[in-house]
Structure 1
C-alpha cells in the first residue's frame, strides 16, 4: 500500500529539516534553497495574463514559473508568452495538466497529467521539463515513483507561502516577504501565484526592492540549489509551429 499523501501541512512541517530529501531513484524533494544570499520566488498556476508583469517586477532577477496545461487558460493560447519567459532566462516547470491532486489518481491518471503538459512544453519550446511542483503540495510514494520513471529530477515544495491564492491580503503577503528580507542572508524558496493580479500589481512592486536592498539575489530554483541544481530540461528538438492540433 502506498504511503498516505503528504499535505501542505506536512510540507511546511518539513521546512526545518534538510532542504533536500532524496527519494525514489534519485528524485529529490526540495523544501528550500541552498545558497546563502539567494531567494527563489516561484509562481504557480499559469499561464494566464500576468506572467510578464511578474517577470518585469523582478527588477532584473529571475523567477520560476510552474505551469499548468489547462487551468486558467489553455497553454497553447500562450505560446508567445511562454517563449518570452524562457528567452528571458526564467525557469519553467510542470505543475500538471489540470492542477489535479495527483494523490487522488491512479498510475495511469498521474502519467496522463504529466504527459500532456510535457507534450505542450516539447511543442512550444522543444524541451521536456525535469522540474515539478505538485498541486497543493500533495504527493505520495506513487506520485514520486511515476515522476522518477518519467525522468524528473526535482519536486519542489517551499519554505515560505505568501498565501496569495488562499485569499490573503496584500499586507499579509508583503509581511511574509518582509520576514524573508529580515532573515538575510539565509536562503528562501517562496510560493506565489502568477494568476493573482495583486501579486504582480501590489505585492511584488512593494517587496522586490526590499529583498534586493537587503542584499538578496532573486534567482531561479536551479540556481539557488547551487551544486545540487542542474539544467531543468531535457532537449528534445526544435520548437514546433502552432497548428490545429495545438488545442486543449
Structure 2
C-alpha cells in the first residue's frame, strides 16, 4: 500500500504533466479538467435552475449528474427551491456557477466575492449547505479568481474534457456526435459540459446518447465520484435548511 504522503506527492506531480486532468495550486485549490476513474463519465449541466432539470434527471436513466447553478440567470434560484431540494435528495451533486453568470476575469476582487457570496447564501438558505465545487462561467478564470475562490474555501474548480456546445447553438446531431465519441473511447474517463437550460439537451440529445454511453460500459456519475479518492463531500454543512420568507428574492 502507498502511504498518504506518497499519494499526495503523486497527485502534485500530475500538475506538471502536460494534459494532466488536475492542476494543484499552493493554496490547495484544484482546477479539474477531467475525471480520474476509468469507466466513468461525469455529465455536468450549467446555467440552471430552469425548466428542464427533472427532464435531465429522467434522461440519465438512473445515472447521477452534476448541476452548476446560478442565482439569477434564466430564473431566480429562490423560485426553484423545491426543484433544487429534489435534485439534492435524488443524489445529484450541486455546485456554484456564480450569481449572474459574468465573466469573472472582467470583475474586481470585491465583485467576484459578491458573485460568490450571493449564490452561497442561496445554497445555505435552501439546503443548509455551502458549495465547495465551482465552475466558472465560460470556463474563464485567472489568478485573482482562483485566489478569491481559495479564500472562500472552495476545493475544486471544474472545467471539462468534452463540450457538447449545446449552449453555443450546436445542432442536436453535433452534440450527439460528441457523446458518441465519448462512448467510443471507453473506458477512458470524461468530464462533459452540457447545459440544463437547453430544452433539446434533455428531450433529444440525452435520450439518444445516454443508453449508448451505458451500453459501452460507462457509469454516469457525479464529479465527486469520478475523482475517486481525490473527491470529497462537495459541501460544507452550515445548518438546517431554512423556510422561505421575504428575504428569499433576487430583487
Q: Which residue of 1 aligns with 2:167?
A: 165
**Distance in 2, Cα, partners of 1:139 & 1:173:** 25
1:162-211, CA deviations, whole angstroms, 9 ceiling, x for partnerless residues? Answer: 00000000000000000000000000000000000000000000000000
Aligned to 2:5: none
TM-score normalised by L of structure 2: 0.92
1:23 CA displacement: 1.6
Runs of 4+ in structure 1 displaced over 2 angstroms?
none
Change (3 A) 1:206 1:51: same
The residue number in structure 1 matching 2:84 is 82
| Unmatched 5+ stretches in structure 2 | 1-16
How many pairs were matched up?
234
* Rounded Cα–Cα distance in structure 2 between residues aligned with 1:132 and 1:56: 24
* 1:231 CA drift (Å): 0.2
Q: 1:232 to 1:221 in 2, by over 3 A?
A: same
- Which residue is equivalent to 2:55? 53
What residue number does 2:7 align with? none
Indicate which of 28, 31, 34 corresponds to 1:29.
31
Q: Paired residue for 1:139?
A: 141
The alpha-carbon deviation at position 218 of structure 1 amounts to: 0.1
Deviation at 1:16, TM superposition (A): 6.3
Q: Distance in 1 between matches of 2:25 and 2:140?
A: 15
Q: Normalising by the residue count of structure 1, what TM-score does the alignment of the two structures yield?
A: 0.93
Of residues 98, 120, 123, the one that matches 2:122 is: 120
Shift of 1:54: 0.2
Partner in structure 2 of residue 69 of structure 1: 71
Q: Runs of 5+ in structure 1 lacking a partner?
A: 1-14
Paired residue for 2:206?
Answer: 204
Residue 96 (structure 2) aligns with: 94
